[in-house]
Amino acid sequence: MSTTLSSADGRQAGRAPAALAAAVVCVLATATIASAGQPRTLPEGGDQDVLSLASNPQVLVVFSDDSSQSWIRQITDGFYRAAAEGGASAPAWYFEYLDAVRFQDERQVGHFRTALREKYRDRPLDLIIPVSSSAIEFVMESRDELWPDVPVMGVVYASGARRPATSGPGVTTLSFESGLPESLAALKTVFPGTTAVFVVSGISAAERRGEPALRADVERAGLVFHDVPGPSMADVVAEVAHLPEHAILFVAGGQVADQGNIIPTWRLCEMMAAAASRPTFMLGSQFLGCGIVGGLMRDYVKVGAIVGEHAIAAVSGPPTTNQTVPFAAIATMQFDARQLERWGIPESRLPAGSVVAFREPNVWRDHRRELLIVAAGLILQTALIAALLYERRGRQRAEIDSRRSLALAAHVDRRGAMATLTGSMAHELNQPLTAILYNADAAERLVASNRATPDDLREILRDIRSEDTRASRIIQRHRAMLKPHELERRPIDIHAVVRESLELVAHDAMARRIQIDAPLPSPPCIVLGDQILLQQVVVNLVINAMDAMAGTPPSRRRVTVRSALTGDSVAISVADCGPGLTPEISSTLFQPFVTTKTDGIGIGLAIARGTLDAHGGSIDARNNEDGGATFRFTLPCAVTA
């Protein structure tokens, strides 16, 4: 039998140092086996301990290359992915490696055949899957001896691989399109103007055997094929360093170096890509990162998964037929950002859906969506803050205007109230002025009769000074009520404010024959507020109470002012004995221009509520059970240290 290495197998060789002889002695790796399935009867004398291992379908996979190659590991991962999707009845995989690149001697092949015969003597197999040309040739020539009547499914996936004879009962082929024409078509869009492809297929005769198939694929893509020959690998490296413009380099093989030494495929890729004067590419996606540009490449995990799916179908259903898998089913479009930059290729030129690896970190490119979301959030937040600041500024202006309006309205209301209390002011001033006049007359008579002693005169002068001070306070109090005034917060005794307010209306109450009772507590009650504005509130409430009792018999005319502490606030109530509040007026009592007086304008209670709101307080009104109404306002007490 012929065991010469095919060019496709030679291109895919790797870096494993193990020899086939060592594989014969040590018996190469076997796959893990699923546990479920139908039990089998082992040959007589077989080891019954492996009976459970033989319960599932048994599939032997024979690779042409050695197990160290990256694409072999990826195909194996694909087998297990297919088995995972197959459930408990999935096959048990066994993997063997011909390592045909390094061992082409017929004796080594015989040793390998002997090893397999002994290894699987007691292991009945359901399917043999030789992967690539050399493995297919080996299985077809060894089948009658090792596995008679066991179905065989040969797998061919490499570009330029020869198709060995696979005829016979129970023998099918699963072929994958090479993908080289499609890959070249994709690269022509990335490197417009490309006219030629220089192909490194190796220096050994076995590797170069697939050159005709490669030439056909290149010419099918509309490009000129150029072989890169050389008596040594150094000559090949020197040749690729001087490629013409409008050319690209395809590394299809070259693992066999001078004197038959093997170059690991990744190292070969690095050597060629670093030396090449034009962009380099390979068909295996596992080589992205060794210096190739990338492109439309073969994904070997997908290859293994598809082969595994066909194997599961073959052992669980009717016989399969020869099939060809399109390259699109196993292709992936990937590029190396470093090589794109090296050759000056913008990413905008890449085909749609391309994946670009090895990019330098770029915040805008890698996190554009997140940055846009954050930027939009910041813009919205900034706009919201600006709107809130604008609204706050407008609210502050409105509050200032409201306070000014309140102060103006309060001033007008105070002037109206003081006009009403003109008689009270005159009465209050009349008392100290009369006392001053009497004291002056007494002093004059004492002096005229020569009976004035210094002590008498000093006492008369003290009385005059005291009454003068009293009159001055009365004038100042009324003058303060008449002056324009804005809110000022300071600690004040609310009981003192109430007492002064009652002094202002005392004469008017006397004239109306109204009794005012004010059993206020002696201890001061401190609040933060404006004395004049709060005094106006009390005066308004007391005047309203007196006005409400205009039709009440004189014997029942009484205004009662009380103070009560409730937690951290103080409540001042003004109760009258009038007719009380009607339901119609109760709901609009504190609205502007609502009044029951024929000569009133209805702003007194509205001003009182505005004043109390500005102090953080409140006001309400209710009818008394025994007649009349009570107005009560509350203020927060000041926090004392």
Residue type, 485: H
* 408's tokens: 């103006």
**Greatest CA span in the chain, whole angstroms?**
168
How do residues 52-97 score in pLDDT, each as one tens digit?
445 789 999 999 988 888 889 999 999 999 988 877 778 999 999 9
Residue 176: which pLDDT band, with cuts at 50, 70 and 90?
A: very high
pLDDT on residue 418: 55
Rounded CA gap, 225 and 213, in Å?
Answer: 11
CB 126 within 8 A of CB 170: no
Dist. CA 512–CA 464, nearest whole Å: 31
Out of 171-185, 259-273, 449-463, 557-571, which region has the weakest mean confidence (pLDDT)?
449-463
As a whole number of angstroms, the distance between CA 319 and CA 126 comes to 12
State residue 7's pLDDT score.
35
> Helix crossing, 211-220 with 180-190: angle to 10°?
50
Provide, rounded to the nearest whole percent, the portion of the chain with pLDDT above 90. 45
Instruction: Supply the pLDDT for residue 426.
Output: 64
- Under DSSP, the state recorded for 198 is E
Angle in degrees, 0-180, between the axes of helices 422-448 and 454-482, rounded to the nearest 10? 160
Tell me what pLDDT residue 188 has: 94
Q: Would you place residue 48 in the very low, low, confident or very high pLDDT band (cuts 50, 70, 90)?
A: very low
Return the closest-CA partner of residue 200 out of 166, 170, 241, 169. Answer: 241
Calpha distance 298→502 (Å, rounded)? 102
Which CA distances in Å does 557 have to 537, 553, 560, 576? Answer: 21, 7, 10, 8
Res. 183 pLDDT band, cuts 50 70 90: very high
Tell the residue number behind the tokens 């004398």, with chain if given: 45
pTM, 2 dp: 0.54
| Topology match between the domains 180-298+328-365 and 487-641 | no
- Burial class of 510 by CB neighbour count within 10 A (0 to 12, 13 to 18, 19+): middle
- Written out in words, the top-level CATH class of the domain with range 7-176 is alpha beta
Identify the pLDDT of residue 561.
Answer: 96
Q: Is the pLDDT of residue 479 over 70?
A: no
Region 297-312: mean pLDDT is 94
Report the C-alpha gap between 155 and 324 in whole angstroms. Answer: 10
Cβ(542)–Cβ(502) under 8 Å?
yes
DSSP E strands, 214-271: 224-227, 247-253
- Amino acid 35: pLDDT: 32
Q: Are 327 and 181 in contact (CB under 8 A)?
A: no
Return the H-helix or E-strand segment holding 548: helix 531-548
The pair of three-digit structure tokens given for residue 618, joined into one six-digit string: 């409140």
Q: Which of 109-113, 360-364, 561-565 has the highest mean pLDDT?
A: 561-565
Q: Where along the chain do its domains lie?
A: 7-176, 180-298+328-365, 421-483, 487-641
State both tokens at 424: 């009270």
What is the number of alpha carbons within 13 Å of residue 408 lying toward its C-beta? 6
pLDDT digits (tens, 9 = 90+) for 228-242: 987 888 889 999 999
Neighbours of 95 (CB within 10 A): 20
The residue to which tokens 């992967």 are assigned:
131
More confident residue, 36 or 555: 555
Class of the CATH-defined domain 487-641: alpha beta
Q: Exposed/middle/buried for 386, CB within 10 Å: 0-12, 13-18, 19+?
A: exposed
The pLDDT assigned to 483 comes to: 58
Q: Which is it for strands 515-517 and 569-575: parallel, antiparallel or unpaired?
A: unpaired
Best CA proximity match to 607, nearest among 421, 415, 424:
415
At the fourth CATH level, the homologous superfamily of domain 180-298+328-365 is Response regulator (3.40.50.2300)
Please report which helix (H) or strand (E) contains residue 324, including its range. strand 323-325
For residue 311, pLDDT beyond 90: yes
Residues 617-633 pLDDT 10s: 999 999 999 899 999 99
